[in-house]
Amino acid sequence: MAGDDTLTRLQQLPVDPQFEEMMRGCIKAIIQVLERQYANYFDINVTEKLKEETETARSHNMDAEEIIGMFSSSQQKAHNATMDYLSCSMRASKNKTTHYFTKC
């Protein structure tokens, strides 16, 4: 975008000479923390049994999208339903513990 003052300012080099040094330090610290937190996952020994067990595991995003879809569907079916009721009915449907008349 030609003439975009904000973009032009963001693309300029920082005025403070210490900025680059400080940003390098921050990024290195972030990398160290992430490497420490995920060390167990990087070093894991993936066996055939573990592959089989996790093959059918759903990712968190898919589950969250399904819940959002269930919530909006339930809200459209029962406009006056409380948040607690909708939450209980969705949990019961997901856990397959109780049959609800207003199926999500």
CB 81 within 8 A of CB 74: yes
- Measure the CA–CA gap between 31 and 33, rounded to whole angstroms: 5
What is the rounded average pLDDT for all residues in the chain?
81
Domain membership flag for residue 80 = yes
The total number of structural domains in the chain stands at 1
Q: For residue 16, tell me if it sits in a domain.
A: no
Tell me, yes or no, whether 92 lies in a domain. yes
Report how far apart the first and last C-alpha atoms of the chain are (Å, whole number). Answer: 46
> What per-residue confidence (pLDDT) applies to 104?
46
C-alpha span between 104 and 90 (Å, rounded):
6
Structural domain boundaries, residue 96 = 65-104
Ranges of H-type helices in the chain: 5-11, 19-37, 39-42, 48-54, 60-77, 83-95
pLDDT at 100: 55
Extract the residue ranges of the chain whose pLDDT is less than 70.
1-3, 58-60, 98-104
CA distance 97 to 82: 20
Distance, CA of 85 to CA of 78 (rounded, Å): 10
